[in-house]
Amino acid sequence: MPDPLPAAPRSLPSGAAEDTARRRRAGLTASIGAYVFWGLSPILYHLLGHVPPLEVMAHRIVWALALSLPLIVAFGQTNALLAILRRPRDLLVFAGSALAISINWLTFIYATGGGHKLDASMGYYIFPLATVLLGAVVLGERPSRRQWLAVGLALLGVLVMLVGLGRVPWIALVLASSFGMYGLLRKIAPAESLVGFTLEVLMTGPLAAAFLIWLGWTGSGAMPHGDPVDMAVLVISGPATAIPLLLFAVGARRLPLGTLGMLQYINPTLQFTMAVLVYGEAFTVGHAASFGLIWLAVGLYASERRGRGRPRL
């Protein structure tokens, strides 16, 4: 027979409590660093706005691979990487995730280098809502009424932009759906963050390297005879891709999922702020109505996650 009153929670030993608090602080710092890094990344691709997006993405893949392979060895993940390479089914799933993240990267590079940073920020605002929709359609999950309302408001925001501005915000939709599909595929074939990322750039790396060699051979690429600043920024794009992902992995292991979910809005908020205040993109009444509905949807979604994250008494 159960006790009529719940037992008092056991307090952790002071050393264990301090260690847990230290891990939480490290996770919080790493996660904020990752989201700030991603939020400021439009600066990098704005500088490369005159370089074709496909070439920028190829450099991003090649230089990210050049960094991630030594990290695999340094962190003792070689066996984990080789184990997945021996499993054809997992390789097929990672091929799908590599395609999804490549579409995401190419669209983001095009958007931030071509004056569409507002649309890019919208994509990452609605990304969590896209995952709710994908989970319901693909995985048979059952979102709550509040989550369905949030998805509906986000779709209404997209419709307002279509009617008010006369165009479909395809950049936002592609970014949200491709990153949502990426997350879905990584959920099906889980792997440690560094291993999964290395697999993805390993699969796309040979094609990217061949493309860059062809550009260099024909003299139409930014390397090796282009502007020194362009070449430096292109090389930096590799670490700029890998570092925030590693920071995010540190945070994901040390923080509750709800906290990570709330922190993720740092990224699109920084992108939105820079688009309007730094790069002077027009923010019209149509934008205000569309973003207003999407922000309301995000608020509903965030309140749902916060409610689920509370301890049950």
pLDDT in tens, 4-22: 444 444 554 556 677 777 8
Tokens 């509370």 belong to residue: 310
Instruction: Specify if 131 maps to a domain.
Output: yes
Instruction: Specify if 23 maps to a domain.
Output: no
Instruction: Specify if 19 maps to a domain.
Output: no
Instruction: Specify if 312 maps to a domain.
Output: no
Q: Which residue range is the domain that position 48 belongs to? A: 30-307
Pairwise CA distance, residues 148 & 289, whole Å: 20
Decide: 181 and 41 in contact? Cβ < 8 Å: no
For residue 76, give the 3-state DSSP assignment: coil
Pairwise CA distance, residues 189 & 185, whole Å: 6
Decide: 295 and 156 in contact? Cβ < 8 Å: no
Among residues 181, 87, 203, which one has the least CA distance to residue 133?
A: 181
Instruction: Specify if 4 maps to a domain.
Output: no
The C-alpha R_g of the chain, in whole angstroms, comes to 21
In this predicted structure, what is the pLDDT of residue 258?
60
Instruction: Specify if 42 maps to a domain.
Output: yes
Q: What is the mean pLDDT of each run of 10 residues along the chain (313 residues)?
A: 43 63 83 90 92 94 94 93 91 92 94 91 85 77 81 84 78 90 80 86 95 91 84 92 81 70 84 92 87 86 61 35
Pairwise CA distance, residues 216 & 200, whole Å: 24
Instruction: Specify if 145 maps to a domain.
Output: yes
Per-residue pLDDT of 90-125, as tens digits, reads: 899 999 999 999 999 999 999 999 889 999 999 888
Tokens 């027009």 belong to residue: 282
Domain count, the chain: 1
Pairwise CA distance, residues 181 & 185, whole Å: 6
In this predicted structure, what is the pLDDT of residue 137?
79
Instruction: Specify if 97 maps to a domain.
Output: yes
pTM, to two decimals = 0.83
Decide: 259 and 102 in contact? Cβ < 8 Å: no
In this predicted structure, what is the pLDDT of residue 143?
75
Residue partners of 50: CB distance under 8 A and separation at least 6: 113
